[in-house]
A and B are shown apart, each in its own frame.
Chain A
Amino acid sequence: AQSVSQHNHHVILSEAASLELGCNYSYGGTVNLFWYVQYPGQHLQLLLKYFSGDPLVKGIKGFEAEFIKSKFSFNLRKPSVQWSDTAEYFCAVNEANTGNQFYFGTGTSLTVIP
């Protein structure tokens, strides 16, 4: 089975600070990569996804992520966070072309202080 690691369990930032959340996966083959966000009391929503092509992917609300194949990483970034970005962020991986399942990291809780 795949494993997905999110090393930052809880991050606290002030508004306007820059954000980078780490995500590493274990599968050596071709992967599809996702970042989901879960606002307090809500369900998971897709922030962005990578399937192929440009390794720098832009998503909603100013988020972006960079796929670095050699490092098995898909880190999420935002240049300037807002209070409304307070949420839990999950990285997920799917084995491209073969996988029926999605594998999730344990999540990173982000708190943005106004």
Chain B
Amino acid sequence: NAGVTQTPKFRILKIGQSMTLQCAQDMNHNYMYWYRQDPGMGLKLIYYSVGAGITDKGEVPNGYNVSRSTTEDFPLRLELAAPSQTSVYFCASSQDPKGYNEQFFGPGTRLTVL
């Protein structure tokens, strides 16, 4: 199993550009999450999904959109990139957080907006 994969690893955007961060998992997990990590701030939840077709906002959703058309994929969309979105983005998945299951993380995407 590849686990959780993310592409791209690095990206530089200009202000106002848009892009999609890809995330895929091959563990048949129902729950998927997007976090951003800023220095000294820990992980902040952007969006999460409890299954295909179902998404919900996390703590910092503004400026982002998600979709979940399949169990495997959970892309994160930035429509109008802003410098405040410079961060490292991590995707994670979990079988069922209500049960005895932890999260598995992808390798991250480092995004710089100039």
Majority secondary structure of chain A interface residues (helix, strand, loop or mixed): loop
- Residues of chain B whose beta carbon lies under 8 Å from any beta carbon of chain A: 31, 33, 35, 40-43, 45, 48, 50, 56, 58-59, 90, 92, 94, 97-98, 100, 102-108
- For the complex, is A42 an interface residue (Cβ under 8 Å from B)? yes
Number of A-B pairs, beta carbon distance below 8 Å? 59
- Flag if B42 contacts A101 (CB, 8 Å): no
Residues of A within 8 A of B40 (CB): 9, 106-107
Q: Which residue of B lies closest to A52 (CB)?
A: B100
A68 CB → nearest B CB, Å: 20
Residues of A within 8 A of B41 (CB): 106
- Residues of chain A whose beta carbon lies under 8 Å from any beta carbon of chain B: 1, 6, 9, 32, 34, 36, 42-46, 49, 51, 90, 92, 94, 96-102, 104-107
Partner of A90, one of B42, B94, B102, B106: B42
A selection of 25 A-B contacts at a CB cut-off of 8 Å is A6-B42, A9-B40, A34-B103, A43-B90, A43-B105, A43-B106, A43-B108, A44-B43, A44-B103, A45-B105, A46-B103, A46-B104, A96-B98, A98-B98, A99-B97, A100-B56, A100-B97, A101-B45, A101-B48, A102-B33, A102-B94, A104-B42, A104-B43, A106-B41, A107-B40
